Structure 1
């Protein structure tokens, strides 16, 4: 008697997201080790089960040191790729960015091959199940792209566009890219931007967020003058003193940044 052929295995489904009680979210470190170290020393960061870094990690004055410091965190660190990380790899592979950035080009030349391989393999998004929030999606700019712009005052239609196709089970989205912290609702979905650790716009300090069971925007104060001195002594990037003074003191205002970024979120009429 002939036997029936074995049934095909069911289609595989994505693995369930990791479940954590609390996670710290850091974004846009941009190779500024003193700012990163200040945040990592925070008690709530030290106690967090995961430390999610939402991109633009190494394009700055201490790229090697920042990546090495994050590597010391082991599996606690969840790294996501940003446009600047991608561009570092592309530049080392002979494809310069469309918009030249002197410090990024300098940083690209200093990364080790293992660090380039790490950056090249970073995912665009990552999901975690966070207590009190459910499934949270982390990305750099938007879930579909590592450099398009959304802002605290972007139109609801713009958010609908960039979230098209996003699983309805995801009720919180965490993004970075614009270096300005905010929390807002979009058609019932919570959007969080932790701001920038290393290149804040609007006010000084290393900005980050703590998730679980709610959302808290945090800012870590540190000795900026001492950090500027340390970068000047240790970085080797030409013009580092001026760069560090400008970015660590947040001399770029949030209103200035919004005016520059605004046209890039697709707006053509009044903000709604």
Structure 2
């Protein structure tokens, strides 16, 4: 093991501006004890974007950042490079960020590679290594994975991605693919989902008081539809079956 090899890395993806869920995960002893916390994008597009950014930046150099498509969309909207955002809460979230926070998000990398004990070189991205909104799923066909992995160095044997809000671990062409699920907007089951890497791969879910979190978001967030938004996403009303059917065509299947 070299000096650059990390023992334990906590991975948080798709926080989507949900501060109570983030606070619950950061309070986990194994997250607090991890060598690094890696964020795999879609950090801010939600009800409390500025507060989430502030809390994460207070963690200092322990936090390593990767941007997601929703973060990029907020930046583009604020810069006048787009007139709308597909996610209805996106314009509200963009307006809540300071100019300095917008520039911070604009500077986030698309990928990050770390060496982790037991896993070797691990590549972190948001959706896929080549595109921040491309869809791959737990049941994506092997030729799809071969296409997505085409430009990855052979030394990378593990790829961690987010974007689809559903946790899984699978093998594809000898590479381990890990999706930690979503901290703030889970599909399929409730809780704040994340994962712990090193020396293996451990998918985790942190339970927290969801009714209290919904009440807090309603009290603290001025988004007009916050009660419906929080009630739907924090309670994971979207099932994994529904989401897989919705995302399937974007995976290139017939």
TM-score range, shorter chain: over 0.9
**Contact residue 35 and residue 198 of structure 1 kept, 8 A:** yes
SS at match of 1:166: coil
**1:119 correspondence with 2:105:** yes
Residue aligning to 1:236? 222
Query: Any gaps of 5 or more consecutive residues in structure 2?
Result: none
SS at match of 1:59: coil
Residue aligning to 1:51? 37
Aligned partners of 2:95, 2:85: CA distance in 1, in Å?
A: 17
- What is the CA distance between 1:98 and its match in structure 2? 6.3
**1:143 correspondence with 2:123:** no
1:205 to 191, 197, 208: 191
Aligned partners of 2:224, 2:29: CA distance in 1, in Å?
A: 35
Residue aligning to 1:216? 202
Aligned partners of 1:19, 1:169: CA distance in 2, in Å?
A: 14
SS at match of 2:115: strand
Residue aligning to 1:26? 12
RMSD: 1.3
**Contact residue 74 and residue 93 of structure 2 kept, 8 A:** yes
- What is the CA distance between 1:102 and its match in structure 2? 2.1
**Contact residue 17 and residue 135 of structure 1 kept, 8 A:** no
Aligned partners of 1:65, 1:72: CA distance in 2, in Å?
A: 11
Write the deviation string for residues 135-162 of structure 1: whole angstroms up to 9, x where unpaired.
Answer: 0000000001100000000000000001
TM-score using structure 1 length: 0.91
**Mapping of 1:178-197 within 5 angstroms?**
178-197=164-183
- What is the CA distance between 1:18 and its match in structure 2? 4.3
- Greater Rg, structure 1 or structure 2? 1
- What is the CA distance between 1:17 and its match in structure 2? 10
Residue aligning to 1:157? 143
- What is the CA distance between 1:100 and its match in structure 2? 2.9
Q: How many residue pairs align between the two structures?
A: 253
Aligned partners of 1:85, 1:18: CA distance in 2, in Å?
A: 29
**Mapping of 1:54-93 within 5 angstroms?**
54-93=40-79
Aligned partners of 2:59, 2:124: CA distance in 1, in Å?
A: 19
After TM superposition, the runs of 4+ consecutive aligned structure 1 residues lying more than 6 A away are none
Instruction: Out of 76-85 and 95-104, give the one that drifted further.
Output: 95-104
Query: Any gaps of 5 or more consecutive residues in structure 1?
Result: 1-15
Residue aligning to 2:247? 261
Instruction: Describe the shift of the 1:154–1:52 C-alpha distance in structure 2 as closer, same or farther (beyond 3 A).
Output: same
- What is the CA distance between 1:19 and its match in structure 2? 2.3
